[in-house]
Amino acid sequence: MALKAMVFIDGSWLYRSRSAVFAKLGEENFEVDYARLPRLLCEELANTIDEDVSLVRTMYFGTIPSARSSFNTGKQRAFYEFLESVCHYETKIHEVEIGGGENLADDAWISMSLASSMMYYAAMPAAYDVAILVSDNRVYAPALHAVRLLGKRTQIVSLRTADGTEPPFGVTLVGKSRVMDFAPIYLDDHAAELKLVRELRKRTCKQCGREEETTWAGSDFFCSECRGKHHRRD
């Protein structure tokens, strides 16, 4: 029987880590294949333990400026909707005040939500066997320790240093005792696999029925004319 794995993604950590992934391929930027990411991690884990691994769920934790702020959050909301509708993630997005005197930084909201979810599902019978944490932030050490006390195993996803070596002991979760059961998966080692390559193809507009060439791979496609009309109404 395959081991059941749940992937827990610290969105803030992943966003900051993209530059290291880009640098691995000598590029400044490219689209990350978010649909591929959790499957890739499960495949790497399966290769490590020589057992089948079944992906149960991918949970993504992030923040967004509150509705009271003057920030345009359209792109962020569209990204989170893309993760849910196209990549089939379960997203936990917290509204935060920007410059509003909040006591907790964005990262703290994310880490508390992620840690509590990871422990909650660890306590549920048969929810998962292995927690894959996409972050090497030391703040997760207590939660990882608790998850292991509940009989679950843990896999950490980290980054190598700029010179391609493992992070120094004590700087990240890597090398910390009682927090992981397997060698870390280094995200930058898989940069080429995480680069999204889009194919140009013809699709039919959901609204007007006109065909147009596009690289958009989402479930719903709207042609440039219909998108322009929608933006003008906004």
Q: What is the pLDDT of residue 105?
A: 62
What's CA 190's distance to the chain center, in Å?
A: 15
151-184 pLDDT, tens digit each: 999 999 999 876 666 766 556 888 787 899 999 9
CA 139, 142, 148, 152 dihedral sign is negative
Q: What is the pLDDT of residue 133?
A: 98
Q: What is the pLDDT of residue 103?
A: 47
- CATH superfamily of the domain spanning 3-197: 5'-nuclease (3.40.50.1010)
Q: What is the pLDDT of residue 154?
A: 97
Q: What is the pLDDT of residue 113?
A: 96
**Residue-range domain boundaries for the chain:** 3-197, 199-234
DSSP lists the bridge partners of residue 58 as 7
Collect the ranges in the chain with pLDDT lower than 70.
Answer: 68-69, 99-106, 162-165, 167-171, 217-219, 230-234
